[in-house]
Amino acid sequence: MPTDRAETMTTIRIARTVEELEALRPILDRVEWARFEADPEYVISAVATREGNPQPFVVVAESAGAPLATFVAIVEDIRLSSTFGYRAVSSPRLRALVAAHGGTLAWDDEAAQGVARAIRQALVDGEAEALWCPSLPLDSYPHRLSPLLGSALFRPGFAKTWTHRRLVLPATYDEFLQSLRKATRADLRRDRRRLEETFGERLHVIRLHAAGADAGAIAFRLEQVAAKTYQRGLGGGFIDSAEQRRVIEIGVRRGTFRAWTLEVEGTPVAYWQGSVYGRSYISSATGYDDAFAKHRVGMCLLTYAIDDLCADPVVDRIDWGFGDAEYKRLYSTESFDERDLVVLAPTFKGARVSATRAVILGASTAARRAADAIGITNRVKQRWRRLRRPDRAPDGATSR
């Protein structure tokens, strides 16, 4: 990672093909990426496995071969969903620059401005109809420099802000328990004891990340339980796909993939999947079979995995991933705020999509504040989740 700016000219380099991305590897490989999705190998894998002719769009500002600012994205066709609650009200199809998580980094403000201008020029030139940076930290340079990316007319407001949480791990699981409130600690111990008493020798924690493990077999096992979770009804969680199998394959080869299943008589009933990157275990997806909800199988599996991660010599913290939940609030020691950043291309279509999105998100924001004021937000969320369970959702139903 660069520390001092060299006394030479800053150059903006852009890779729009895999070949051009490979040519930038000597510069990009000097970057300590915030998440694995921005790593060039994962970007190339995503381009190779996604449908719709995706292409890389990677911008780096460099001086004498030292990176000063980066932007990692894939140009692909998306449905830019504007939601009210969990329901997509408008989902125009757009060719978009979709930023990779952890790929917007800057160590020099002037260099970051140069990268921002290059992104704006791509929108002006019609290389993409929109820029979408999902779950982007508020202190990242695209948020700070958003006026350089597009005028207010093409940057719809009312985007929801949420908290991203992490847990700094102690040396042992017992120390983790001792760090919790007494009531929380008692709940975790009681749930695990009851689970083990109920299922006895029929209960097993399976660690799927052994060296040389088969990516297809891992994906199949995760899919067995992921297909039964409420997240699947919302279009989220783990989904067995060619891209996910490549992610698993790369992670197993590198020794960074981690996944656990909790199984009863050989049948997975809960799972947790993620990757180790930069000494953090980054949670990608977790869930449980609703038929076993009363046994707290999801939370119990997390405790078994946390026990493993405390003892893992290459892991210092857990990054709980995107979205918020009660367990993330209870088991975190640090946090930061983030929200999506959307910028539309300066065209008539862009202005129309931007205005529509602002109206929908504005109404959703007002409704959410009203629900918060009268204390029914959690009940509304639970109702939506029940309606969107896999056994209740229509074929092909997805939302964001």
The answer to whether the CB of 237 falls within 8 A of the CB of 229 is yes
| CATH (residue range 11-162+340-387) | 3.40.630
User: In the chain, which residues fall in CATH 3.40.630?
Assistant: 11-162+340-387, 170-315
The answer to whether the CB of 23 falls within 8 A of the CB of 15 is yes
Residues 236-277 have pLDDT tens digits of 899 999 999 999 999 999 999 999 999 999 999 999 999 999
Q: Which residues pair with 287 in a beta bridge?
A: 271
Tokens 């209870």 correspond to what residue?
Answer: 330
Which residues lie closer than 8 Å to 288 by C-beta, 6 or more apart? 225, 229, 262, 269, 270, 271, 297, 298, 301
Q: Is residue 394 pLDDT above 50, yes or no?
A: no
Q: What is the pLDDT of residue 201?
A: 96
The rounded percent of the chain whose pLDDT value lies above 70 is 91
How confident is residue 233, by pLDDT bands cut at 50, 70 and 90?
A: confident
Distance in angstroms (rounded) separating the CA atoms of residues 262 and 272:
9
Average pLDDT estimate for 186-206: 97
In the chain, alpha helices (H): 18-23, 25-28, 40-49, 109-124, 141-144, 146-149, 173-178, 182-199, 215-226, 230-233, 242-254, 297-311, 326-330, 348-374, 377-387
Q: Which has the closest alpha carbon to 139: 176, 106, 93? A: 106
Query: Which range is least confidently modeled, 83-92, 218-227, 290-299?
Result: 83-92
The answer to whether the CB of 35 falls within 8 A of the CB of 282 is yes
Average pLDDT estimate for 321-331: 91
C-beta contacts of 360-363 below 8 A and 24+ residues apart: 360/82, 360/83, 360/84, 360/89, 360/90, 361/82, 361/156, 361/157, 361/158, 361/159, 361/160, 362/157, 362/158, 363/84
Q: Write out the H or E segment, with its range, that includes residue 258.
A: strand 257-264
4, with CB counted inside 10 A (0-12, 13-18, 19+), is exposed
Query: Can you say how many angstroms the Cα of residue 233 is from the centroid of all Cα atoms in its chain?
Result: 18
Q: What is the pLDDT of residue 34?
A: 87
Q: Which residues pair with 166 in a beta bridge?
A: 319, 334
How confident is residue 59, by pLDDT bands cut at 50, 70 and 90?
A: very high
Tokens 């000097």 correspond to what residue?
Answer: 30
Q: Which has the closest alpha carbon to 86: 383, 373, 391, 392? A: 383
- What is the total residue count of the chain? 400
Q: Comparing 215 with 157, which gets the higher pLDDT? A: 215
The answer to whether the CB of 264 falls within 8 A of the CB of 202 is yes
pTM of the model: 0.87
Q: Is residue 324 pLDDT above 90, yes or no?
A: no
Distance in angstroms (rounded) separating the CA atoms of residues 119 and 48:
23
How confident is residue 375, by pLDDT bands cut at 50, 70 and 90?
A: low
How confident is residue 303, by pLDDT bands cut at 50, 70 and 90?
A: very high
Q: What is the pLDDT of residue 393?
A: 35
Average pLDDT estimate for 149-153: 96
* Amino acid, single-letter form, for residue 366: A
- For residues 220, 226, 228, 229, the Cα torsion angle rounded to the nearest 10 degrees is 180
Q: What is the pLDDT of residue 396?
A: 29
The rounded percent of the chain whose pLDDT value lies above 90 is 80
Distance in angstroms (rounded) separating the CA atoms of residues 8 and 251:
37
Q: Which fold has domain 170-315?
A: Aminopeptidase (3.40.630)
Query: For residue 41, what is the DSSP state?
Result: H
Compute the C-alpha angle 114/117/120, nearest 5°.
155
Q: What is the pLDDT of residue 85?
A: 73
Residues 353-374 have pLDDT tens digits of 999 999 999 898 888 778 677 7
Distance in angstroms (rounded) separating the CA atoms of residues 1 and 140:
17
User: What are the φ/ψ torsions at residue 396 (nearest 5 degrees)?
Assistant: 80, 5
- Tell me whether strands 105-106 and 66-79 are parallel, antiparallel or unpaired: antiparallel
Q: Is residue 231 pLDDT above 50, yes or no?
A: yes
Q: Which residues pair with 95 in a beta bridge?
A: 77
